[in-house]
Structure 1
Amino acid sequence: MESYGAVTGTGVPLGAQEWPARRVPVAGVDLLVRDVPGAAADLPPALFVHGLGGSSLNWTALGLLLNDTIRGMAPDLPGFGRTPLAGAAGITEQAAVVIELLDREVDQPVHLFGNSMGGAVAVTLAAQRPDLIASLTLISPALPHPRVSASAAWFTALATPRLGPVVLERSRRLPFDRRFRASLAMVFGDPRSLAPEVLAVYEEELRRRDTDPWVTRATLDGARSILRSSLAPPRRSLWADAAKVECPVLLVYGGKDRLVDARIRTKAQRTFPNARLLYLPQSGHVAQMEHPELVERAVRQLIS
């Protein structure tokens, strides 16, 4: 069992508490997987899938809030967090990794959670292997959006073969404090609402990411994959996959999300055959970190 980051203890905010970590050989790499502590072995299984540039730590608070209802685990996908890159790191490849992990670790359908690119991975997985999924919770999923935004332009720049590496390299040359503030502003609706301990864990993770040799390639692969998904023909798009998902679905969107335009929520709710919507006007891109109690309440309703 490996141990990283903050510790669990009385008075420590949920988002800064640590889940135990282990290594699972999947798809040719030792995948780091965190297990929600305190969950009974007979509870139904759940899997949490982070987004581009994220890690298993993005699910800490929500998993702990739900540990009396589901038995959760959260991987660091290849190329992110503490799992090395093992080939391409796009949506399709990451979905294959998650399927292999589920086939290895669980023997019944799981409650699947996905955020951002992890939401796209979850939709792909649910369409391919409906037998593996009991319910689907998507938080700001990276589904194709017709409106051009600043984030779409950024992804396009990253996906351009020669321009992408230059954009990332110039970004990494900026002072860390400046990059940290920019990341907070992009990801959270109101970073000031986060506990200092949670911000400290987030900062520590960003600093550690700077030392990972695989970060650039994984980021470029993910960005190119998201761009390709937005250009796919209708019959092969993520929206076509979404229309195939028959399990109960919870869609969570934040009104202050700067990466995924929350106006797409209406189309999303209409496309998934069995979906309900939670709209959080004050939340950003990671509602499970900013407003975990509100997401928890909606998840409990979905599961029940």
Structure 2
Amino acid sequence: MESYGAVTGAAVPLGTQEWPARTVPVSGAELLVRDVPNADKTLPPALFVHGLGGSSLNWTTLGHLLNDTVRGIAPDLPGFGRTPPLAGMGGIHEHAELLSELMTKEFDEPVHLFGNSMGGAAAVALAARRPDDVASLTLVSPALPHRRVSASAVWFTAVSTPRLGKAVLERTRRIPFERRFKASLSVIFGEPRLLPPEVLEAYEAELRARDTQTWGPEATLEGARSILYSQFAPPRRSLWAAAAKVRCPVLLVYGGRDRLVDARIRTKAQQAFRDARLLYLPKSGHVAQMEHPQEVERAFRQLIG
């Protein structure tokens, strides 16, 4: 396993304290995996799963806040962060299978599972497959099937269309970085102007790093197609059917200013799981664990306490 350095220290804000990282071979992929720092090895395990276009760094602050409660890991899924792509492993169910192997390799007891966006969809599929191995499930704006017409639905349709998708992404990459950065902030966060400076800087650095990765567009295309196709899965194979199979306590987190996942789906989502609690944050966007980490931390502690 290859190890990477980390930026840490009491004087460094939590949002920029990178977790120690290593590479773990799983199913033919060399996953970059980060470990929650300063967590006791006797604590119960946790697995943090990022969404489409994200990375393990999306969980930095929340993991630090919970390091007295869980010993967690966060992988960069194939094609994102520092993990190179792996052919045929870019969809929701492929991610669930890969995460299942990682879970088996890393832990020998039930896991507290966290997922955001597409990572939330993969977490639902994983929890349904292995109900005895998931102690709790925390979903932040999970990409569950929702056919309401929206700007994001139109974007996913366009990106998922052969030829058109590549053209859309290539055209987007030609837009000056500062314009793309500003647009990304408005799409991902509910109140970007209120974000701590260090969170903004870390997010900008991550986007700049993505620009240097040749595999990014293809990974985005494959993930977008998977999200779109999940909308039309037969009822028995849908993510809603998977949700009904989840046995553990579930925390659902939705943001009222989420432009990618319509928060109005929260009532249906809460009813779909056997034992679900809801945290609704009216001013949060798509990544509440980054924008309102203390609220998510508090809700998780209540869920397991």
Partner Cα distance (1:30, 1:3) in 2: 17
Using the TM superposition, give the Cα deviation of residue 236 of structure 1 relative to its aligned residue in structure 2, in angstroms. 1.2
Using the TM superposition, give the Cα deviation of residue 194 of structure 1 relative to its aligned residue in structure 2, in angstroms. 1.2
Partner of 1:80: 80
Using the TM superposition, give the Cα deviation of residue 131 of structure 1 relative to its aligned residue in structure 2, in angstroms. 2.3
Deviations 1:202-255 (A, max 9, x none): 111101111112111110000000000001121111111111111100000000
After TM superposition, the structure 1 = structure 2 runs for residues 110-259 of structure 1, keeping only pairs within 5 Å, are: 110-259=111-260
Partner Cα distance (1:32, 1:138) in 2: 22
Using the TM superposition, give the Cα deviation of residue 266 of structure 1 relative to its aligned residue in structure 2, in angstroms. 0.2
Query: SS in structure 2 opposite 1:48?
Result: strand
Partner Cα distance (2:132, 2:15) in 1: 32
Residue 176 of structure 1 aligns with an amino acid whose one-letter code is F
Residue 212 of structure 1 aligns with an amino acid whose one-letter code is Q
Query: SS in structure 2 opposite 1:25?
Result: strand
Partner Cα distance (1:16, 1:186) in 2: 21
Query: SS in structure 2 opposite 1:82?
Result: coil
Kept in 2, the 8 Å contact 1:27–1:86? The answer is: no
Computed over aligned residues only, the root mean square deviation of the Cα atoms, in angstroms, reads 0.8
After TM superposition, the structure 1 = structure 2 runs for residues 49-88 of structure 1, keeping only pairs within 5 Å, are: 49-88=49-88
Kept in 2, the 8 Å contact 1:12–1:197? The answer is: no
Partner Cα distance (1:218, 1:146) in 2: 23
Partner Cα distance (1:235, 1:102) in 2: 26
Kept in 2, the 8 Å contact 1:13–1:195? The answer is: no
Residue 5 of structure 2 aligns with an amino acid whose one-letter code is S
Residue 54 of structure 1 aligns with an amino acid whose one-letter code is G
Deviations 1:12-52 (A, max 9, x none): 22111111000100111210000010100000000000000
Residue 204 of structure 1 aligns with an amino acid whose one-letter code is A
Partner Cα distance (2:96, 2:151) in 1: 27
Residue 291 of structure 1 aligns with an amino acid whose one-letter code is H
Partner Cα distance (1:54, 1:196) in 2: 19
Partner Cα distance (2:232, 2:53) in 1: 22
After TM superposition, the structure 1 = structure 2 runs for residues 24-103 of structure 1, keeping only pairs within 5 Å, are: 24-88=24-88, 89-103=90-104
Residue 71 of structure 1 aligns with an amino acid whose one-letter code is R
Query: SS in structure 1 opposite 2:15?
Result: helix
Residue 263 of structure 1 aligns with an amino acid whose one-letter code is R
Kept in 2, the 8 Å contact 1:35–1:73? The answer is: yes
Using the TM superposition, give the Cα deviation of residue 132 of structure 1 relative to its aligned residue in structure 2, in angstroms. 1.9
Residue 180 of structure 2 aligns with an amino acid whose one-letter code is R
Kept in 2, the 8 Å contact 1:190–1:283? The answer is: yes
Partner Cα distance (2:220, 2:206) in 1: 15
Query: SS in structure 1 opposite 2:146?
Result: coil
After TM superposition, the structure 1 = structure 2 runs for residues 5-16 of structure 1, keeping only pairs within 5 Å, are: 7-16=7-16
Partner Cα distance (2:232, 2:253) in 1: 24
Partner Cα distance (1:272, 1:266) in 2: 11
Partner Cα distance (1:157, 1:13) in 2: 39
Deviations 1:96-123 (A, max 9, x none): 1101100100000100000000000000
TM-score w.r.t. length of structure 2: 0.98
Query: SS in structure 2 opposite 1:213?
Result: coil
Partner Cα distance (2:107, 2:59) in 1: 19
Query: SS in structure 2 opposite 1:232?
Result: coil
Query: SS in structure 1 opposite 2:109?
Result: coil
Residue 287 of structure 2 aligns with an amino acid whose one-letter code is V
Kept in 2, the 8 Å contact 1:33–1:75? The answer is: yes
Identity across the alignment (%): 73
After TM superposition, the structure 1 = structure 2 runs for residues 272-291 of structure 1, keeping only pairs within 5 Å, are: 272-291=273-292
Q: Which runs of 4+ in 1 moved over 6 A?
A: none
Kept in 2, the 8 Å contact 1:251–1:277? The answer is: yes
Aligned residues: 302
TM-score w.r.t. length of structure 1: 0.98
Partner of 1:2: 4
Partner Cα distance (2:295, 2:11) in 1: 21
Query: SS in structure 2 opposite 1:252?
Result: strand
Query: SS in structure 1 opposite 2:86?
Result: coil
Query: SS in structure 2 opposite 1:231?
Result: coil
Query: SS in structure 1 opposite 2:4?
Result: coil
